[in-house]
Structure 1
Amino acid sequence: MGSACSRKRDQLVNEDDIRRGISGKFSKNLSSRWLGSSMNRTSIDIHQEIGKVPSLMELCIRKICEEIKGYKSFSILPRDLSQQIFNELVNSQGLNDVSLEAFQDCALQDVFLGDYPGVKDSWIRTIASQGPSLLSVDISGSDVTDSGLSLLMECVNLQSLNCNYCDHISDLGLAYLSGLTNLTSLSFKKNNSITAPGMEAFAALINLRNLDLERCSRIHGGLVHLKGLTRLEYLNIGWCNCITNADMMPLSGLTNLRELQISRSKVTDAGIACLRGMSKLYVLNIEGCPVTGACLETLSGLGALSYLNLNACGISDGGCEKFAGLVNLKFLNLGFNNITDTCLVHLKGLTKLEMLNLDSCKIGDEGLNNLEGHVQLKRLELSDTEVGNNGLRHLSVLRNLESINLSFTQITDSGLRRLSGLTSLKSLNLDTRQITDAGLAALTGLTGLTHLDLFGARISDIGTSCLRYFKNLESLELCGGLITDDALKNIKDLTSLRLLNLSQNCNLTDKALESISGLTALVSLNVSNSRVTNAGLHHLKPLKNLKSLSLEACKVTASELKKLQMTALPNLVNYRPE
């Protein structure tokens, strides 16, 4: 059970699917992340997947990119054509120092090179040559320095600039931006060189609507320079542990703010009080801040508030009666707080809720009685609570539920029958040792499921026969350790699967890889801690879409995995062992 718990904590760090409910990790080395997730496939590949014939234009662009070495300049082409060629080179990772030169003075409007390898100051010279035509630039994760940033000063119409994870940009670089008064969006995530004095440059950017300074660790005192940016609608200073109550006061006049991220800062109830008057505030994330239920006195007056993240704030039942005033809430994250069933009484009137997170709270069966009127609820997180079978009877009326997490609860097989009527369910997490084959059999009517997590459940080969009913599954985790190669015959027809986790099943052999070789939609496969060997790797060759492959603690060598990638799986960018 210990390993399962560790897995859960890792997931919590990386979740970022509901309006930054929990911020993810960041690192400077992002080439794998770019290749694995940010890199889009070409438009031609996409058309082929859905059965459409590529257009003549698309074929021409592909041909040009394949023969890019033969072209010295695209400046005589219409701008939209040059833009499409540029985008295709980026998507196919064909842009380099030489091919970039062909785009000098092409009047490109958008340059998206976020996390693209090799971007440096010399590249900015070509980018800046687009002049007044240039509207948006993303050089996140690059090695661009202050000198490179200075080259953009002539791009006076620039509206959006993303410089996330750019370690070599400092206050000096910010000063070069002060003349770009048409900027409406600016992002410098995880920059430890930007300081409060350097933020004075932001004061001139009067048209800014979006500013992202997440994980900038030295900006305490610098928010005073934002006082005049009255058009700001989005501000992210989350995970800046230098931010205190004193930094909140200059924000009190930004009454057009619609989204504010201050998670993992040192802001307390007193700092939250500075938000009074922000009548348009729609999204507020104060996850991990040392606030108490007293902050709800202020928040209850923010009538437009629709999203509220109070995850891991240490809130208890005291002050929770103020939740009753937040009648427009659609998303509420109360995970990892000290609230009990008493708090849920005050949520009874929040009938617009679509997402409610009670992860690791002291919630039991009786508290769920207060959720019966939440008919619009689509996502419910009950992981690590004291909820058992009796509590599920209160959820059986929530016919619009699409996702429910019951991992690490007291739920057993008999309780799962109460979920059988929730036909809208698409995602179900049953990471708990009490679930067996019988419990899975009770769910066979939920044919719309696309995600099923049985990580810790005790499902055997016999139980996997129930998986045949879930034809729409895109993600399946089956890691209880009881299945053998025979179980895979019940999975091989789930052709929509994109993620398959079979780790911790020590009885699986090379024959398992042969059984799943027809699941060609797979993007991620984990068969760690099994008996798979190098000899079985050839069964994976048909899985051309595979990007992530984990075979830790198997008799597989890094050299054979590398050979497999180079000869058969060109999209594979994350594989273990390494």
Structure 2
Amino acid sequence: MLQMHQSFYPAWVIPVYIIIAVSPHQCMATCNVQNGRADCSHLRLSSIPQDLPSNITSLDMSHNIMTAALPESLKRYSGLLHLDISYNSIKNLDVDLCRNLPQLLTLNLMHNEVRLLKREDLSHCCKLTWLNMASNRLKLQGEPFSLLKNLKYLDVSMNKLQSAMLGTTPQLPSLETLNLGYNDFTTLKTNDFSFLRDSPFLQKVSLISSMSLENLESGCFKPISGLRVLSLDESRKGSLFISALCTELSGTAIDFLSLRKISLLKLTSQTFSGLKETNLTFLDLSSNSLSKIEDGSFQWLSRLQTLNLTDHNIGHLTNGTFQGLNMLKTLLLLKKKDQKSHLLVDDFSFQPLSNLESLILQNTALVKITENTFKGLTRLKKLDLSWNPQTERQLTDKTFVSLCDSQLKTLNLNGIASAGIKPGSFSCLKNLSFLFLDRNFIRQTFLGKEFEGLSQLQELHISNNTQAIYLTPESFVGVPNLRVLTLAKSLTAETLNQDSSPFRPLSNLTELDLSNNNIANIRQNMLEGLENLRVLKLQHNNLVRLWKQANLGGPVLFLKHTWRLEHFTIDSNGMDEIPIEAFRNLTHLRELSLSNNLLNNFQDSVFDDLTSLEVLRLEKNFITSVRPEVFRTPMHNLSLLVMGKNTFDCTCESILWFVTWLNTTNATIPNLRDQYICNTPPLYFNRSIMDFDPLSCKDMTPFQVLYILTSTAVLLLMCSAFIYRFHGWRIQFYWNIMINRILGLSDARLGEGREFEYDAYVIHAEEDARWVERRLVPLEDKDCQFFLENRDSVSGMSQLESIVNNMRRSRKILFVVTESLLKDPWCRRFKVHHALHQVIEASRDSVVLIFLQDVHDYKLSHSLFLRRGMLHQSCILNWPPQKERIPAFYQKLLIALGMTNRLQE
């Protein structure tokens, strides 16, 4: 039955299934190749890729599933200098590996399954300087390292080696560091390090976590007498073993000895006696829960310079505890954080440490500081008493009197539960440069006496107190050289709302931190006199009204005195407005942070003076548009922009310039695709602004230009039409006058081939005779001559002959067109026919029409056989109904009568 079902599967199902099953191994992430280094780690590769550049010098194949490093697969990369094949399942080291990699310098084989290592396996690795064979469970055969003349670092830790002897003949002449930690040998024999007797550069041997090591044969370190660094961390051996170790190290050049986590609970006066003749300068006894130190325990370590007793459980220090450590410079006495026992320090306990420069007593639960606690520390430069709650809650002039003879420069009093500072508390610390008073419970008004005597103080840190410190104009008069002042989360809200600024004496101040103080009001002169201020922090206050135009007295421009400011932070203040003068003249500002406010619209030139800005933070505001008028200048040299989580309006007007800038800038913009999200319009809602298509805006540009041009043309045309409609006659009238005055009226008589007796033969209806007498005859006073039939006809001559002859003697034939003329049979028959003959014989300019009435062109053609199109435009005149247009009419008539009848060639 099963076979029947299988037969129904198509033939392509099995190949597809095979592809799907194999795909996780075949479709892997590619190696990262950069600057000649190929990183192919964590890719589940079973072999070395052959598609990498052949000129790579470093190859990382760690954390894969290789079972062998085939020399043939590495032949392509013969220039390799560094090869890392750690964390694989490689069974053996092929003899041809280094043959195909002749330039190889470092080889990492840790965490593999190499069981047997022979001399031949490394015979061609002559140039190797660094070799890590840790965690392989090695079994050495012969002298596997004897040919590694240039090797400087060798790690064979975590291999369950039964002996520290890695060879019988001298070898590894260049070795500097040997790691034998986490192995199983129980004894260091006299000859175990004989193979290193010709290794003059050997400086460090690590025996970390050698818990099986029980015995040290006499002279076991003699072959490596040049040893300078020895680590036995996590070996849990106790004081007896350490005494034996020190005895064996007596003839060496040991300089650094690390004995961390070795269960050393007690030091006796003989524990380090074997180190008397050594030059030991560094001793690390940290993390040992050391509870007791006998007097004189360190008397043998006269050259010791650094002693680390961190995480101790010591309850009592006496005058003899540090006896003999007269060269010590650094002492670390940090107590375990979970230990609640107190440390009792006798007077003059530190007196033997005459050269001590740094004393770290952090979290030691120091019971009390007396007038003699630190006596004798004349060269002390750093004292850390942080997290030592004092029984006396107030610092007084007696607290540090034992340090009057010291050269103390740094004093750390963070977390000592101090409630106040009495006048003169630091008066004897004349050289103090750095004072830390953070995380205390100081509640007082600073009157200036508190910091008396600290004229050399450069940094004062009083942050994270109880926000109960009130400042006065004299608060910092005693620290004129102060450069850094931090008062975060320590001041009362109204302490800066006073006429005279408490910071005025601090002319050298470069950094001021006033954050987290709920400050609501400050004065415009708060920073007056701080010309050297470089860093100002005002975040997490309540300065919402500070820059509002509606603020009483206007915006408070408190930055106008800090023209050298470089870093300014005013996050989380609820600000929704920035005055245009807020950042004026801040040309040195390199970092500006306005995050977590309510900012939306910015005035165009508000950031124009920020020409040096490199970092701009505006995240978590209500910014909708990023316009070039606002941001072009500050974003010109920007290296970091943080503007995510705003309500961007993804339209062409709002972010086209911004998106274009994002696509071309070299600045770093974290979380660009995840936090720069569009809020409007609906098309882009909840999408990244990088999805906005700038091309959708570019096509609008020519249409906008075309729209502007066409709109302008239409408006000009409409205006011109209106002007011409109502004032065209006036324009034409003055134009004619101007032309005539410049060029003079044209005289047709000069251009005609024959003389005319009349300027015009007037044809009119009987009803229009009175108009002719009143309007045309007066023009004869202006050197015009008209022929009027009822006035100028010769008696006795036939009317037809008179019409023909006088028309010939007239330059123009002037029709006074009215409805009456169209009905006059005499005019319609003979006079018009002869006038048409004149038009044809001479030109179209020989006829002038004066319309006294609005006569349709159809009637004109039907009655007089004339059309307006037959005549020149200047020969067609209309009698104006308005009285003011009559002079313009006469002007046009004179021009028409003065025109020549000849055609223009």
Percent identity, aligned pairs only, is 19
Query: How far does the alpha carbon of each residue in 1:520-553 deviate from its partner, in whole angstroms, 9 at most, with x for none?
Result: 6759769887769xx98x99xxxxxxxxxxxxxx
Q: How does 1:379-418 map to 2 (within 5 A)?
A: 379-385=511-517, 387=519, 390-411=522-543, 412-413=546-547, 417-418=557-558
Specify the code of the residue in structure 1 equivalent to 2:617. Answer: E
Unaligned stretches of 5+ residues in structure 1: 1-41, 45-58, 114-118, 540-578
Distance across 2 between alignment mates of 1:129 and 1:459 = 73
Matched, 1:290 2:440: no
- 1:346, CA displacement in angstroms? 3.7
* Kept in 2: contact 1:161–1:187 (CA 8 A): yes
Which residue, 366, 378, 383 being the options, matches 1:255?
378
SS of alignment partner, residue 231 of structure 1: coil
Distance across 2 between alignment mates of 1:109 and 1:485 = 66
Which residue, 331, 334, 340 being the options, matches 2:470?
340
SS of alignment partner, residue 480 of structure 2: coil
Matched, 1:134 2:261: no
Distance across 2 between alignment mates of 1:524 and 1:143 = 42
Q: Quick one: structure 1 residues 425 and 369, their matched pair in 2 at CA, closer, same or farther if it must change by over 3 Å? A: same
- 1:254, CA displacement in angstroms? 2.2
- 1:405, CA displacement in angstroms? 1.2
Partner of 1:550: none
Q: How does 1:107-506 map to 2 (within 5 A)?
A: 120-121=208-209, 134=228, 144=234, 146=236, 154=249, 155=254, 156-160=278-282, 167=287, 169-171=288-290, 180-187=301-308, 191=311, 193-196=312-315, 203-214=323-334, 216-217=336-337, 218=339, 220-221=342-343, 223-224=345-346, 226-240=350-364, 242-245=365-368, 250-267=373-390, 268=392, 269=395, 272-273=399-400, 275-315=402-442, 316-317=444-445, 321-335=449-463, 336=465, 338-342=468-472, 344-359=473-488, 360-362=490-492, 363-366=495-498, 369-385=501-517, 387=519, 390-411=522-543, 412-413=546-547, 417-436=557-576, 438-439=578-579, 442-443=582-583, 445-460=585-600, 470=610, 472-473=612-613, 475-483=615-623, 494-497=637-640, 501-502=642-643, 504-505=645-646
Q: Quick one: structure 1 residues 384 and 180, their matched pair in 2 at CA, closer, same or farther if it must change by over 3 Å? A: same
Distance across 1 between alignment mates of 2:508 and 2:669 = 32
Partner of 1:54: none
- 1:378, CA displacement in angstroms? 0.8
Partner of 1:556: none
* Kept in 2: contact 1:423–1:447 (CA 8 A): yes
* Kept in 2: contact 1:263–1:288 (CA 8 A): yes
Partner of 1:56: none
Distance across 1 between alignment mates of 2:665 and 2:235 = 45
* Kept in 1: contact 2:644–2:671 (CA 8 A): no
Distance across 2 between alignment mates of 1:371 and 1:128 = 65
Q: Quick one: structure 1 residues 108 and 466, their matched pair in 2 at CA, closer, same or farther if it must change by over 3 Å? A: farther
SS of alignment partner, residue 251 of structure 1: coil
SS of alignment partner, residue 332 of structure 1: strand
* Kept in 2: contact 1:294–1:319 (CA 8 A): no
* Kept in 2: contact 1:330–1:354 (CA 8 A): yes
Query: How far does the alpha carbon of each residue in 1:399-429 deviate from its partner, in whole angstroms, 9 at most, with x for none?
Result: 1001111123344226563314523212211
**Structure (1 or 2) with the greater helix fraction:** 1
* Kept in 1: contact 2:298–2:323 (CA 8 A): no
SS of alignment partner, residue 253 of structure 1: coil
Specify the code of the residue in structure 2 equivalent to 1:221. Answer: L
* Kept in 2: contact 1:484–1:507 (CA 8 A): yes
Q: Which has more radius of gyration? A: 2
* Kept in 1: contact 2:445–2:469 (CA 8 A): yes
Distance across 1 between alignment mates of 2:357 and 2:412 = 14
TM-score with structure 1 length normalisation? 0.59
SS of alignment partner, residue 325 of structure 1: coil
Distance across 2 between alignment mates of 1:378 and 1:467 = 23
Query: How far does the alpha carbon of each residue in 1:427-451 deviate from its partner, in whole angstroms, 9 at most, with x for none?
Result: 2110133434525873264243333
Number of matched pairs: 450
Distance across 2 between alignment mates of 1:128 and 1:526 = 63
Which structure is higher in RCO with an 8 Å CA cutoff and minimum separation 6?
A: 1
